[in-house]
Amino acid sequence: MKHIIKTRVVIFVLLGFLQMQAIVAQEKKDTKKTDPMLCQGNYWTEEQGRQFLAKQRESYTTADAWNKRAELIRKQILKGAGLTKFPEKCPLNPILGAIRTFDGYQVQNVAFESLPGVYVTGSIYKPINAKGSLPGILSPHGHWSNPGDVGRYRPDAQKRFAAMARMGAIVLAIDMVGYGQMKDIGWEHTNALALRQQLWNSIRSVDFLLSIGADPKRIACTGASGGGTQTFLLTAIDQRIAVSVPVVMVSAYFFGGCVCESGLPIHKDKDYQTNNVEIAGCAAPRPQLLVSDGGDWTKNNPVDELPHLQYIYNLLGHKENIENVHLPNDKHGYDYNKRQAVYPFLAKHLGLDLSKAMNADGSLNETGIVIEAQEALYPFDSTHPFPAKGIRKNDLVVWK
C-alpha cells in the first residue's frame, strides 16, 4: 500500500514538473511572438512619460533640430505602418446615395475605393444652400462598439457632424476598418494590419474631400479616442491637414491599446523611440487643440503634454497655435462639453459661422438635428448593392 502511495506521489510530482515546464515553454514561445518594437496601452508609467519628454526637450533646442526630429518621426510612422512607399492611388469611384435634407444641413451616404475593391463606407454632411469653396472636416470615430452605440452612428457623433455642417463645412464621417457597414461586409478591426489600412483609408478620405470641392487650404481632422489617435497620426504624415483636434487621446505614457493605434512598430525601432506627444507635435506649426479630461490618460495634459507641445510650437514661432481645453470632471468621450470646446476652435481657424452651432451664452445649439438609425447611414442597400468586385476580408487586400 505504501509502495502504491509513494508511486502516486512520484507520478503527481512528475506531472506537476512537466506541467510547469510546459507553462515555461509556452511563456518563452509567447515572448518570442511578442514584437519588442510594439508600444501598446500603458506602455510607460506616468513618470516615465514625463522623463522621456524632459530628455527629448533637451535634444531639440532650435527649429531646425525639431524639424529634423519631426521628419524622423514621420518616416518611422510610415515605415512601421508599411507605407514607406504608397500604393498607387486608384480612382475613388464613389457610390453616392440619395440626399436627405434636414434643418440646416443635408446627409448623403457614400462609399469610395481606397484601393481597388476596398470600399470605405461613410456619410457626407453639408450645409444647406452653401456657396463657394467650403472647408472640409474628416471626423474618424473611436472604439465604441456596443449595439446601438457604434462608432459614427452614436448620437453624439451625428450631432457633431451635423453641427459642423451647419457651421459651413463639408464633413466626412467614415467607418473605421471593421466597424459599421465595413464590419457587416466582413472586415475585422482586430486584424494585425488594421493600422496600415485605416491610415491609408484616411489619406484617401482627404483625397475624397478634395474631390467634392473642399477648400485644400482648409482641411481639418477631429476625432475622439481611437479617432483621436487617427487624427494625430494622419496630421503627422499628411501636410494637407491644416487644423487638427485630437480629443481625449494625446498622452505621454499611454500609446493606444488597439491594433489600429499601436499594433505596428510606429513608435519604436532599433535606436529609436517616440510617443504620442511627439507625434502630435508633428502638426506644428499648424493649429491644434487638445481636449482632455480627468477620467482617462489625458488627465495630465495641462502640466505634462501641453507644455511640451508649447515648447515645440514656440521653437517654430507659433506658440499661439497650440491650445488645450481641460475638463477635470469629465470622462472619456466626445460628449457635450467636448463639442462645446471644439466648435469655437474650428470656427476660428476654418472661418466657420459659430452662431449656427452655439448660442450667445456659449451653450450648444443642436436642436433640430436628427439622429438617424445606423442602417439609414449605410451606403450599400437594395438600390446600391455591394459591388461584385468588392473585397470583404482584410487579408485579401493586394498592396502594390
- Inside any domain, residue 373: yes
- Provide the percentage of residues in the chain whose pLDDT is more than 90: 88
Q: Which residues pair with 127 in a beta bridge?
A: 105
Domain-embedded: residue 343: yes
Q: Are 281 and 312 in contact (CB under 8 A)?
A: yes
The residues, any chain, with a CB within 8 Å of residue 367's CB and separated by 6 or more, are 103
Pick from 156, 148, 151, 150: which is nearest to 140 by CA? 151
Per-chain mean pLDDT for the chain: 92
Indicate the DSSP class of residue 187.
Answer: -
Per-residue model confidence as pLDDT tens digits over 351-362: 999 999 999 999
Q: What is the mean pLDDT of residues 42-50?
A: 97
CATH number at residue 173: 3.40.50.1820
Query: What mean pLDDT do residues 114-130 have?
Result: 95
Residue 345, domain member (yes or no): yes
For residue 4, pLDDT over 80 is answered with no
Q: Give the CB-side neighbour count of residue 266, counting CA atoms within 13 A.
A: 32
- 207 within a domain of the structure (yes/no): yes
When mean pLDDT is compared across 143-147, 151-155, 230-234, the lowest value belongs to 143-147
Tell me, yes or no, whether 11 lies in a domain.
no
pLDDT of residue 175: 96
DSSP string of 240-297, one letter each residue:
T--EEEEES---SS---SSHHHHSSSSSEETTEE--HHHHHHTTTTS-EEEEEETTST
Mean pLDDT across 202-224: 98
Assess whether pLDDT exceeds 60 at residue 183.
Answer: yes
Element (H, E) at 9: helix 2-33
Grid coordinates of 312: 515645440
Report the C-alpha gap between 292 and 208 in whole angstroms: 30
Phi, psi of 335 (to 5 degrees): -85, -170
Is the residue at 242 inside a domain?
yes
Tell me whether residue 264 is in a domain: yes
**49 inside domain:** no
The range of the structural domain enclosing residue 372 comes to: 95-249+256-269+330-377
Domain count, the chain: 1
Whether residue 217 has pLDDT greater than 70: yes
